[in-house]
Amino acid sequence: MNLADFDYDLPPDRIAATPARPRDAARLLHVRTDGLDDRGITDLPALLQPGDCLVVNDTRVIPAQLSGRRGDAVIGITLDRPMGDGTWRVLLRNARRARVGETIVIDHGNGLAALVEARADDGSALLRFNETGDAFRAALDTAGALALPPYIPRNDGMNPADQADYQTMFATSDGAVAAPTAGLHFTPALLDALAARGVTIARVTLHVGAGTFLPVRVDALAAHRMHAERGIITAATANAINAARAAGGRIVAVGTTSLRVLETAADATGSIQPFAGETDLFILPGYRFRAVDRLMTNFHLPRSTLLMLVSAFAGVERIRAAYRHAIAQGYRFYSYGDACLLDLA
């Protein structure tokens, strides 16, 4: 398949600049195998069955956007993920001015600095910071900012409300550059309603990396290489998910991030195994899903790997029809937008 197969036209006024308030006031498009239903997020419990298991991502967005200086050069830094040797993989702006072996002093970092240990032609680099652990995290809180997606306009700087808006209620594990946005729709009231319905919640971790902001740069999708992201599924969580399925419940992934880590950890029979590591799973139409029965997710950008994933899950033509319907009916798109519930094709 080619990149152009996943293009569509979206009117700019369909891109959500702020989330629904309250969060569960957003709309929900149910994409069934036999049609479409316009619903709301608060209808989710009625669309699920007792014994179903909702799998959410508990990653927490860190202030991953930094600005630094090497001499008179200003260099933008977006943290991606920590590496096993203590360095951080990052994406750089003005990367040509960040030379291997030289030090970038971080603005407002109270002495935080980073040695450039390696640099690639794609703008990525390996940096070794002079702080680690709690001291590094404290420096980030002072010097860093959330790396909001470029389609959320903040011409006068980040809105203070984004600090709360861009975290899910499940966020407990530091490490994401971007929010797992399907989880933004959940509220305590919605969780209470799901519990009353007999739906269980399982928590996995996939730390969304900076690569989520990068476009696909090849036309032949078989040549695309997915960015790696760190994931964790504990033994207790794997056992709970497997028990729910064994009892007849459906596994409902909240977001493409939850789905990708579940599919990475699933064995050939669909049983979830404990997992701790990196995944670069790239899901295209033709992929055989083993672990997930339904997917709740937001509406995704044209030509994105996420649109390819949902097309694989629900079917290319069904997703095209669903997106045409959503645009015509005024659904709000992208990170702060509405959601859809997809039945597996």
Q: What is the pLDDT of residues 83-136, one digit of tens each?
A: 989 999 999 998 888 899 999 999 999 999 999 999 998 889 999 999 999 999
What is the C-alpha radius of gyration for the chain, rounded to an integer number of angstroms? 20
Q: Is residue 157 part of a domain?
A: no
Task: Name the least confident of 18-27, 34-43, 222-231, 250-259.
Answer: 222-231
Q: CA-to-CA distance for 341 and 315, rounded, in angstroms?
A: 13
CATH number (domain holding residue 134) = 2.40.10.240
**Tokens, residue 309:** 């994933």
Q: Is residue 252 part of a domain?
A: yes
Q: Is residue 257 part of a domain?
A: yes
Q: If pLDDT is split at 50, 70 and 90, which confidence band does 158 have?
A: confident
Q: Is residue 150 part of a domain?
A: no
Looking at the structure, tell me whether residues 69 and 200 fall in a common domain. no
Q: If pLDDT is split at 50, 70 and 90, which confidence band does 215 have?
A: confident
Q: Is residue 337 part of a domain?
A: yes
CATH number (domain holding residue 9) = 3.40.1780.10
Average pLDDT of span 281-287: 96
Residue 101: what pLDDT?
Answer: 96
Average pLDDT of span 156-185: 92
Looking at the structure, tell me whether residues 230 and 82 fall in a common domain. no
Average pLDDT of span 318-323: 98
Percent with pLDDT over 70 in the chain: 100
Q: How many domains does the chain have?
A: 2
Looking at the structure, tell me whether residues 227 and 85 fall in a common domain. no
Looking at the structure, tell me whether residues 85 and 176 fall in a common domain. no
Percent with pLDDT over 90 in the chain: 89
Instruction: Residue 112: give the domain boundaries.
Output: 65-143
Q: Is residue 153 part of a domain?
A: no
Rounded to the nearest integer, the mean pLDDT of the chain is: 95
Looking at the structure, tell me whether residues 27 and 84 fall in a common domain. no
Task: Name the least confident of 72-86, 155-169, 171-185.
Answer: 155-169
Looking at the structure, tell me whether residues 223 and 168 fall in a common domain. yes
Looking at the structure, tell me whether residues 102 and 11 fall in a common domain. no
Q: Is the pLDDT of residue 157 over 70?
A: no
Looking at the structure, tell me whether residues 121 and 49 fall in a common domain. no
Of residues 151 and 52, more confidently modeled: 52
Q: If pLDDT is split at 50, 70 and 90, which confidence band does 234 have?
A: very high
Mark residue 78 as left, alpha or beta (left: phi above 0; alpha: psi -120 to 50; beta: remaining). beta
Question: What's the one-letter identity of residue 75?
Answer: I
Cβ density class 61-83: b for 16+ within 10 Å, e for less? bbbbbbbbebeeeebebbbbbbe
Looking at the structure, tell me whether residues 193 and 334 fall in a common domain. yes
Q: Is residue 152 part of a domain?
A: no
Q: Is residue 156 part of a domain?
A: no
Residue 195: what pLDDT?
Answer: 98
